[in-house]
Chains A and B, each alone.
Chain A
Amino acid sequence: MTPVRISVAAAIGSALLILIVLELIRGRRLKERYALLWLATGVALLVLSAWRGGLNTIAGWLGVSGYPPAILFAAAIMFVIAVLLHYSTVLSRLTDDNVLLAQEVALLRARLEALEREATADSAPEPPAG
């Protein structure tokens, strides 16, 4: 059976995580699309820590007989891995976008320089006659 103190501490921790994430969204420091996984993490951990019978049952299914709170750790680690993987995909997309932007800026700048050169050549004073 899970010690009560562990359940309480884990529930408080999960609730804190949810509150912090909500506060970050409210302050526009975290976009909802990146917050969803964190919220899911917080809710899942909160449920697992508060619902003590459930934790024991799941531990039983998975053959964890000695120490049911290990399931909490396992769940937390799984969610963290999911978040990190998600970030890697986001990072990859940002990298691609960044390269595309840099290329576009460079090509536009080259075009602009060519145009300016042409314009100055056109507006240059006529060569003196004779």
Chain B
Amino acid sequence: MSRRVVAVVPAYDEEDAIAGVVDEIRAFDPAIDVVVVDDGSRDSTADAADAAGAVVVRLPFNLGIGAAVQTGFRYALEHGYDVAVRLDGDGQHDPAELPKLLGPLERGEADVVTGSRFRGDDGGYRPPLGRRLGITWFAKLVTLLSRQRVTDTTSGFQALNRPAIALFARDYPSDYPEVEATVLLLKHRLRLTEVPVEMRERETGSSSITVLRSLYYAIKVTLALCIGMARRSAVPTEEANR
């Protein structure tokens, strides 16, 4: 089987967690190449990832999560990978869940598969109220805009096939990007599927999201969504020029 898979791991100040994440992915499947995108960390995240055996792409300064993830997708595109999986650098995504994400891609049922925390039967994941409100708001909004049921628009646990990699390498939203990316996908008629996954609590570090910032992002992203739907040629619709 010659399908080449790359794991894209964006990381910002995750020196304590990153080696574990890399090891875990490699332990799960040594054939998966791991690319850590160091988003201008102030600590030794890049060196830790390098020592753990990952390819490290070092951004010269902090670009924010969206641009960091996009860098990973551009790497995947340039190096001709067939599938990219994205896992966060803090270890909240368990590589053991990867088969669930890769399944629909392999069967050709979807172009992008997202691990959703809300599709499970037990509904095990209970984020704090503020965040739950935000997630629900965006899930409803995206479902409305895309006329497709989406439960977790904020999950960064995703698997993409080649057309989706090409799209995101060319155009990917900036802050808090997953919500807009979902709509972008659907606008380009790529098929999105959600599968239930469990996510772990953060092991180290702290989430980059605070209350005021979430509110700012919520407003910003809502605006971006509404404008994005109406935008002329939000992105070139053709394959062609990268």
Q: How far is the CA of A109 from the CA of B60 in the complex (A)?
A: 10
Q: Which of A1-9, A10-18, A73-81, A97-105 has 4 or more CB atoms under 8 Å from chain B?
A: A97-105
Question: CB distance B75 to A110 under 8 Å?
Answer: yes
Q: How far is the CA of A113 from the CA of B75 in the complex (A)?
A: 14
Q: Would you give the shortest CB distance from B68 to chain A, in whole angstroms?
A: 9
Contact among A99, A109, A114 for B58, CB-based, below 8 A: A109
Size of the chain A interface, CB-CB below 8 angstroms = 10
Question: CB distance A106 to B57 under 8 Å?
Answer: yes
Q: Indicate whether B74 reaches chain A with its CB closer than 8 angstroms.
A: yes
- Report A-chain residues with C-beta under 8 Å of the C-beta of B52: none
Q: Would you give the shortest CB distance from A120 to chain B, in whole angstroms?
A: 15
Q: Which of B55-79 contact A (CB under 8 A)?
A: 55-61, 63, 67, 70-71, 74-75, 78
Question: CB distance A106 to B55 under 8 Å?
Answer: no
Question: CB distance B61 to A107 under 8 Å?
Answer: no
Q: Would you give the shortest CB distance from B210 to chain A, in whole angstroms?
A: 23
Q: How far is the CA of A14 from the CA of B71 in the complex (A)?
A: 48
The secondary-structure label for the interface of chain A is: helix
Question: CB distance A99 to B78 under 8 Å?
Answer: no
Question: CB distance A99 to B63 under 8 Å?
Answer: yes
Q: Would you give the shortest CB distance from A104 to chain B, in whole angstroms?
A: 9
CB-nearest residue of chain B to A103: B71
- Report B-chain residues with C-beta under 8 Å of the C-beta of A105: 60
Q: How far is the CA of A95 from the CA of B74 in the complex (A)?
A: 18
Given contacts A99-B63, A99-B67, contact A110 B58 (CB under 8 A): yes
Could you tell me which A residues sit within 8 Å of B by CB distance?
Answer: 99, 102-103, 105-107, 109-110, 113-114
Pairs across A and B, CB under 8 Å, 20 listed: A99-B63, A102-B60, A102-B61, A103-B59, A103-B67, A103-B71, A103-B74, A105-B60, A106-B37, A106-B57, A106-B58, A106-B59, A106-B71, A109-B57, A109-B58, A110-B55, A110-B58, A110-B75, A113-B56, A114-B55
Closest 10 CB pairs of A and B: A110-B57, A103-B71, A106-B59, A106-B57, A99-B67, A102-B60, A102-B59, A106-B58, A99-B63, A105-B60
Could you tell me which B residues sit within 8 Å of A by CB distance?
Answer: 37, 55-61, 63, 67, 70-71, 74-75, 78
Extra contacts, 15 of them, besides A102-B59, A106-B37, A110-B55 (Cβ < 8 A), are A102-B67, A103-B63, A103-B70, A103-B74, A105-B60, A106-B58, A106-B60, A106-B71, A107-B57, A107-B71, A107-B78, A110-B57, A110-B58, A110-B75, A113-B56
